[in-house]
Chains A and B, each alone.
Chain A
């Protein structure tokens, strides 16, 4: 077991999701329905986001992940605006390779880093549904997207490793004497952390070759153990995405979980949002994988809705069990986000930190 403390990140809520007095179900429904054309979520919501950011910073959350899709504001810009008005919180910006030249991408990320004291990391997604990608002008077949993402990150890393002159001659990208004067600016790094998401073998290879962290949906510690061990041995961090429901008693947590199930048992947003392996191979059934890991929402909304539910002690134990097998980071969600993050900071993180201190001592 490593001595490094677990790192906890959170999802940035959708715009106008952070309002007072919401039930967990109302908050979750807002998230699910944010892809509808009538949702207010495509417009930036600085007031709500800043309120959430203050809760997150107070709770001891390190970063927020800002997702990328055609339904929401663009993550680099949101991170730039948020970073101006927060002091500690970091921003993990999601981006899809294939939409922009690696040179321009690095220029934007470096500029962002200089504007917000280096508080930026990248989450590279090889691509989403074929339909959404074609709407962005990307017609590459699904299987080639990882090969392209690999080239994209290799070119970007070349800029970060050697600022002087980048020549790259790949199948998807070609650069001749690429040069950027604006460096990545951070107190402790010369390049951003790079989270590569996915469940496929390709995503693992890409994370190992070009990333710093493999990001995937939570599963049980037992089923994750082999792939986590393999990735850690390659020097890659492991970060799990999950939802959290923490309540004083297990019964209360279970009641909240049940309340999130849709009225329409056939409701699904999966096809709309993703046709990736991560979605195809995930748990398609509503079940408890263990006493605290519930997949009731996964068949409807995908694997990132895998839910960790229980009391503060149960959840702290679960996070330590993940740590035991080598997982070192988490990106969490909750319903409502602001309430759950405050709760998590007050109840779960202190228990995890206590245990980490005891085990080190």
Chain B
């Protein structure tokens, strides 16, 4: 059985040099004067080197109107690094599948194939309309399925003829191939909790990307996905300290001021994403989901801030628990960005590998 794969969230622009968790909240990113609007090659390159040294396989670059374009940033970062891979988030509905494949294929050729895709069907309706996309939630998944079907036909290297409800291609042909040592097409992570997202992951993805939950709750949903040959990748945050008490103290210290809280809740409530709604509901019940899994930061830092908290041994054991139920990959974030990743690479990862070997 192969080893668990660990990825990390790419920090926003300006975030690598920030020292407190509060500075890096979602609210700050969406402000128009946020440094997140600009590429931060210096900070990112420092982060990428630390990731490579920490045994992190890939970084995920998120897509939004508040940040630089993920495909271009990956190109610049990929040229500046040698082993780190990039999971590029992109939304279907913004570009025709053929030029998208041409961009991804060219990117693969420029950075040694170190690129995977995280296809997102869409975000808030308001943000999508700013991109010229007026479809509603359910239709976006139908379109994403067509989008990925056309993309795959191009990656199969055939002449592409497609006549769908959202896309039509007649005699499509692209000469630039996807270039990687071991693949003819990128890995595709499909994220989301809705039934549509799951079904899209099963039909068109190589991995279903979702938020972490307890192993008990995840076991019944992971098994059928694995049975269909699709991997499961969990999004989570990590706080690892020498003792559980120290880790809990670090989490508590992250609770922000009232003003930030109000703005954050506003953002979450305006979104029509199922993922966000579910996570917010979980956080409203009580903070702890089990001894190590804490949802108390969700109201302030967004749904992806469900956090695995504990000592290095506890965390390593938790990752093995997830492995037992069939989870194969994780995309992690921590605060501050660099420090938590270094702790993870030094303290947690070696213990996981040891437990995997025994």
| A72 touching B172, Cβ below 8 Å | no
With A99-B95, A100-B96, A136-B99 as contacts: A180 and B75 at CB distance below 8 Å: no
A288 at interface, CB cutoff 8 A: no
| A114 touching B99, Cβ below 8 Å | no
Residue of A nearest to B166 (CB): A137
Per-residue interface assignment for chain B, residues 58 to 86, with 1 indicating a CB less than 8 Å from any chain A CB and 0 otherwise: 00000001111101110110011000000
In the bound complex, what is the Cα–Cα distance between A78 and B96 (angstroms)?
Answer: 19
User: Which of these, B67, B103, B170, contacts A135 with CB under 8 Å?
Assistant: B170
CB distance from A24 to the nearest CB of B (A): 25
A262 at interface, CB cutoff 8 A: no
User: Which of these, A131, A166, A175, contacts B171 with CB under 8 Å?
Assistant: A131
| A137 touching B79, Cβ below 8 Å | no
Residue of A nearest to B95 (CB): A100
Q: For A110, list chain B residues within 8 Å (CB).
A: 68-69
| B94 touching A100, Cβ below 8 Å | yes
Total contacts A to B, CB within 8 angstroms?
A: 173
Q: Which of B174-182, B219-227, B255-263 contacts A (4 or more CB under 8 A)?
A: B174-182
Which bracket fits the contact residues of A? Answer: 35 or more
A111 at interface, CB cutoff 8 A: yes
Q: Which of A158-192 contact B (CB under 8 A)?
A: 166, 173-183, 185
B46 at interface, CB cutoff 8 A: no
| B102 touching A74, Cβ below 8 Å | yes
In the bound complex, what is the Cα–Cα distance between A70 and B130 (angstroms)?
Answer: 29
With A70-B173, A81-B110, A136-B98 as contacts: A175 and B34 at CB distance below 8 Å: no
CB distance from B149 to the nearest CB of A (A): 13
In the bound complex, what is the Cα–Cα distance between A46 and B177 (angstroms)?
Answer: 16
A73 at interface, CB cutoff 8 A: yes
| B72 touching A115, Cβ below 8 Å | yes
| A42 touching B177, Cβ below 8 Å | yes
In the bound complex, what is the Cα–Cα distance between A284 and B118 (angstroms)?
Answer: 49
Q: For A37, list chain B residues within 8 Å (CB).
A: 175
Per-residue interface assignment for chain B, residues 250 to 280, with 1 indicating a CB less than 8 Å from any chain A CB and 0 otherwise: 0000000000000000000000000000000
B126 at interface, CB cutoff 8 A: yes
| B79 touching A73, Cβ below 8 Å | no
Residue of A nearest to B99 (CB): A99
B109 at interface, CB cutoff 8 A: yes
Q: For A180, list chain B residues within 8 Å (CB).
A: 65
Q: For B171, list chain A residues within 8 Å (CB).
A: 131, 134-135
| B69 touching A182, Cβ below 8 Å | yes
B283 at interface, CB cutoff 8 A: no
Tell me which of B97, B105, B160 has the highest count of chain A C-beta atoms within 10 A of its own C-beta.
Answer: B105
CB distance from B330 to the nearest CB of A (A): 28
| B170 touching A175, Cβ below 8 Å | no
With A43-B179, A181-B67 as contacts: A103 and B131 at CB distance below 8 Å: yes
B282 at interface, CB cutoff 8 A: no
User: Which of these, A70, A100, A112, A166, contacts B174 with CB under 8 Å?
Assistant: A70
A85 at interface, CB cutoff 8 A: yes
| A73 touching B176, Cβ below 8 Å | yes
Residue of A nearest to B170 (CB): A134
Q: For B132, list chain A residues within 8 Å (CB).
A: 101-103, 173-175, 178
Q: Which of B139-183 contact A (CB under 8 A)?
A: 150, 160, 167-177, 179
A108 at interface, CB cutoff 8 A: yes
Give the interface of A toward B (CB within 8 A).
35, 37, 39, 41-44, 46, 70-74, 76-78, 80-81, 84-85, 99-104, 107-108, 110-112, 114-115, 131, 134-139, 166, 173-183, 185
Known pairs A108-B69, A110-B68, A183-B37 / 12 extra A-B pairs, C-beta < 8 Å:
A73-B106, A100-B96, A107-B65, A107-B68, A108-B71, A108-B72, A111-B72, A136-B99, A136-B169, A179-B65, A180-B65, A183-B38
A/B interface sample: 23 pairs, CB < 8 A: A39-B175, A43-B176, A46-B110, A70-B102, A74-B102, A76-B103, A77-B75, A77-B106, A84-B76, A84-B80, A101-B95, A101-B131, A103-B132, A104-B69, A107-B65, A108-B69, A134-B170, A135-B160, A135-B169, A166-B130, A177-B130, A178-B130, A181-B65
